Structure 1
Amino acid sequence: MLIGRMLRQVVSGALQGGTACSSWKAGPFLGISPQRIPAAANIHSASFPKTELPRVLITGGLGQLGVGLAGLLRKRFGKDNVILSDIRKPPDHIFHSGPFLYADILDYKSLRELVVNHRISWLFHYSAVLSAVGEANVPLARDVNITGLHNILDIAAEHNVRLFLPSTIGAFGATSPRNPAPDLCVQRPRTIYGVSKVHAELMGEYYYYRYGLDFRCLRYPGIISADSQPGGGTTGKCCLLFPYVRCLWGVGESLVGPMGTLELLATVNGLQMHVPLCASDPLPCVSLADSWPMNLDDSNARKDWGWKHDFDLPELVTTMLNFHGCSTRAAQAN
């Protein structure tokens, strides 16, 4: 199952404890883990005593990543220990799959009560307004991505909650090194989404040094899914099906994120093995993605937490097409 292969290593890396500072990535990653976090909190442990199982809250849980993550964590820690939350009404199958609560990250009092009343110890903060939608509604993006973040940081610090926050390839800018982009470099993004994520990275690091917050942050590349709709992000110049994959596959089984650069022709050639009529005309340029790095330096992740890609291009193309069926793709190409 793709969700098992993809999610396990990301979650394992994202939740490991016991070092002062670690670096991991499905793209470049900044991760902070205070010394005071007990070894029992390490997800790599063979088992958790029932009294020490984490209580997990996922905000923005109905986006591309939340449902898949909840499924993996529920298998590991039990259905009742993982709470999915959002401001939207969930479909019936999600509502009945495990605990679901309404949570508005801009409502500080209600969010704080949720964390206290449900004894939350780990928080995955996925609520965000993404790049394309953010440029169309800057005030909303500023409120959700910055004010909402501040609420999350304050509550997590006050109640000793381990916090995971996704960042983005969009946190880089036109002046950032592009081939490859290192973990630490100049970041001057020109979208409100990118700016808010640079702010989030720095605020999380500050809260670690100032308050001892256990803060983890993974920079995701552009993400597509075989069975969930786009979440308002930005699509690059070519089909985002890259060979190096280590990101969450969202709702169901198939959310894919790229780790490296792949020429459009290579993707088309891979598809043409299955769909001979697949067109090879280049797609129009999307300006928001023009400043993104061409590829990401993953050497620290490989060294620090054993990151490695599982899928090459042929396997990825085959998997994506098998999910939907080649007949559907052929009909669309025709």
Structure 2
Amino acid sequence: MYLRRLCPNFVKQTIRTYGVAVPKKSPKILITGGLGQLGVECAKYLRGKYGRDNVILSDIIKPTNDVVNDGPYIFADILDFKGLQKIVVNHRVDWLIHFSALLSAIGEQNVPLAVRVNIEGMHNVIELAKQYKLRIFVPSTIGAFGPDSPRNPTPNVTVQRPRTIYGVSKVHAELLGEYYYHRFGLDFRCLRFPGVISSDPPGGGTTDYAIAIFHDVLRKGHYQCYLKPDTRLPMMHVRDALRALSEFLEAPNEKLIRRVYNVTSMSFTPEELTGKISKYIPELQITYKPDSRQDIADSWPQVFDDSEARRDWQWKPEVDIDNLVSLMIKEVKEKIAASR
């Protein structure tokens, strides 16, 4: 350590010449809204990379024993700024992953609460990140686009006029994060995810039919879809979503031309997904009864253009629709068996 302080250039040259390994400190990561759609799986994924105790899951919900046993879990209310400050200081947090949000269909049922959680909560965490010089990741969504946006494909930069409070709040988050990056140098990073599909029960998103169909078909043999059979939407398996998040967080700042990127894996319709599932479950029955979520889906991208993410930080999906269906049937069967 004394030599490193005295002759830093000599030490760097020695490392280059003799290949001496200098341990890299793992970041301390706080995940807000951790018991939502992505939080628990994200914590498992990042704990595998950075160590169990370096990833802190948080929410305002009482966790299950499995969540508590898997790693650190704390209470965190994103509307309580002083409480968040205390967590960051006491746990020496380096990175903040902000998942707390009300999703599209749920947000439309309680707009005032969605404004508080999605917009006021965002104000708190971004100011927190600025104050403590944190790297902050905030997910965005296909819902950040609207009926005036090109839908097939939807490029990274285009008109955004969403018609849900969820989408409005995500556009607000994107612009606020970019402003804090340019104004204060905040290391803000954001990915616009398509529908993310995992074995967890659906959480109130418009794309969640692609999760619900597996649960209902495997439990009851039939599913009633709330979207029309030809409604095309971009999707990805949670495995690809978490890998994209992790690779993006680790990407050097100098590689990032933007602070907000589209990412995706595939696009399909309920009819196409049903056709793939029927290869495993030929007797499945599906009916269609579109509801208010159809209007939301009709305003969203059909195909996402993520060429900029592929170019700038070498994003590349691994799970296609065939892999997705086989994975989901296996994972949902295991989840159903475990719940009995």
Tell me, yes or no, if structure 1 residue 138 matches structure 2 residue 111: yes
Task: State the match for 1:56 in structure 2.
Answer: 29
Match of 1:27 in 2: none
Match of 1:108 among 81, 91, 96: 81
CA distance, structure 1, for counterparts of residue 147 and residue 234 of structure 2: 22
Q: Work out which of the residue numbers 201, 208, 211 in structure 2 matches 1:229.
A: 201
Residues 319 and 104 (structure 1), Cα distance of their counterparts in 2 relative to 1, 3 Å cut:
same
Distance 1:93 1:241 in 2: 33
| TM-score normalised to structure 1 length | 0.76
Structure 2 gap segments, 5+ residues each: 1-20, 210-226, 244-262
User: SS at 2:155's partner residue?
Assistant: coil
Identify which range, 129-138 or 302-311, moves more after superposition. Answer: 302-311
Contact preservation (8 Å) 1:208, 1:215: yes
> Higher helix proportion, which one?
2
Paired residues, number: 273
Structure 1 residue 163 displacement after superposition: 0.1
Matching of residue 312 in structure 1 with residue 320 in structure 2: yes
Partner residue in 1 for 2:126: 153
Matches within 5 A, 1:93-242: 93-226=66-199, 228-235=200-207, 237=227
Q: Percent identity at matched positions?
A: 53
> Residues 172 and 194 of structure 1 are in contact (CA less than 8 Å); yes or no, is this contact kept in structure 2?
yes
Runs (4+) off by over 6 Å: 239-243
Superposed CA deviations along residues 203-255 of structure 1, whole A, max 9, x for unmatched, are 000000111100000011123322x1222222363599978653139xxxxxx
Which residue of 2 is the match for residue 263 of structure 1?
A: 269
Give the SS at the match of 1:248. Answer: helix
Kept after mapping to 2: 8 A contact 1:259/1:295: no
Separation in 2 of the partners of 1:150 and 1:292?
26
C-alpha contact 1:244 1:310 (8 A) present in aligned 2: no
Measured after TM superposition, the shift of residue 60 of structure 1 is: 0.4
Q: Which has the larger radius of gyration?
A: 2
Distance 1:65 1:243 in 2: 14
User: TM-score normalized by structure 2?
Assistant: 0.74
Counterparts of 1:134 and 1:265, CA distance in 2: 27
Greater shift, 109-118 or 278-287, is seen at 278-287
Matching residue's letter, 1:181: T
> Structure 1: how far apart are the matches of 2:22 and 2:122?
30
Report the AA paired with residue 202 of structure 2. P
- In structure 2, the residue corresponding to 1:261 is in which secondary structure? strand
Cα shift at 1:324: 3.2
Question: Aligned AA for 2:241?
Answer: C
- Within a 5 Å distance, the mapping from 1:60-99 to structure 2 comes to 60-99=33-72
CA contact (8 A) 1:242 1:260 kept: yes
Match of 2:281 among 275, 281, 296: 275
The alpha-carbon deviation at position 303 of structure 1 amounts to 1.5
Alpha-carbon offset, residue 261 of structure 1: 2.2
Distance apart, 1:282 and its partner CA? 4.3
What is the root-mean-square deviation in Å for CA atoms of aligned residues? 2.5
Shift of 1:278: 2.1
Amino acid at match of 1:95: V
Alignment-mate amino acid for residue 199 of structure 1: H
Task: Report deviation, 1:172.
Answer: 0.2
8 Å Cα contact 1:241-1:258 kept in structure 2: no
**Letter of the structure 1 residue corresponding to residue 95 of structure 2:** W
**Structure 1 unpaired stretches of 5+:** 1-46, 250-256, 329-334
